[in-house]
Amino acid sequence: MKIWIYLNGIQQGPYSLDELADMPVKASTPVWYEGLPQWLPAGEAPATASLFAAEQSPQSPHTEAPRPEPAATPAFEARTAQAAAQAQLPPCPPTFIVWGIFLLICCCVPGGIIAIIFSALTSSAYSRGNYDRARRMSEYAEWTVIISIVLGLVSIPFGWMLWI
């Protein structure tokens, strides 16, 4: 039987009954397993009550522990895997958003727009956990900024010639 627990504000599991016996689980710790309609304290759930037979004490009806809603286990496992992958990622590559805004205002409007788009794609890819794409979009943003600045500086003499 697979049993999930809600310990220290985090849903954890699945565990077997033997694994739960070795964990710091109290009778008041919320548990859920297939067949339970909702989360129950471990001391009240039929499958886990035997672990806490010696330590059970009557609770006041006014001090009931909060019971989280049961989560769909595949979705929880996907979130857990995504969080683990996110924790292993290096820091976010630079987005060059400030340079993109600078180009948009001062120098080269098309280059600024493209740099801002690549900056947004960098942040988006990193938040989804795709570090390789985030790094690639950061490089594109950097190259867009460099090329736009160079084109802006090269076009200055031609701009002055139009005013003369």
CA distance 55 to 73: 30
Same domain for 149 and 72: no
Which of 32, 57, 88 is the last residue in one of the domains? 88
pLDDT in tens, 2-37: 888 887 777 777 888 888 777 778 888 888 888 887
Residue in this structure with the two tokens 């710790």, named with its chain if needed = 29
Cβ atoms of 77 and 11 within 8 Å: the answer is no
pLDDT in tens, 45-90: 888 888 777 654 555 455 555 666 555 556 565 565 556 655 666 8
Same domain for 60 and 13: yes
CA distance 119 to 77: 30
CA distances from residue 46 to 22, 85, 90 in whole angstroms, order as listed:
18, 35, 44
pLDDT in tens, 36-52: 878 888 888 888 888 77
Same domain for 41 and 75: yes
Residue 132 burial class via C-beta count within 10 angstroms: exposed 0-12, middle 13-18, buried 19 and up? exposed
State the pTM of this model.
Answer: 0.46
pLDDT in tens, 105-159: 987 888 899 999 999 999 999 988 888 999 999 999 999 999 999 988 888 787 7
Same domain for 75 and 151: no
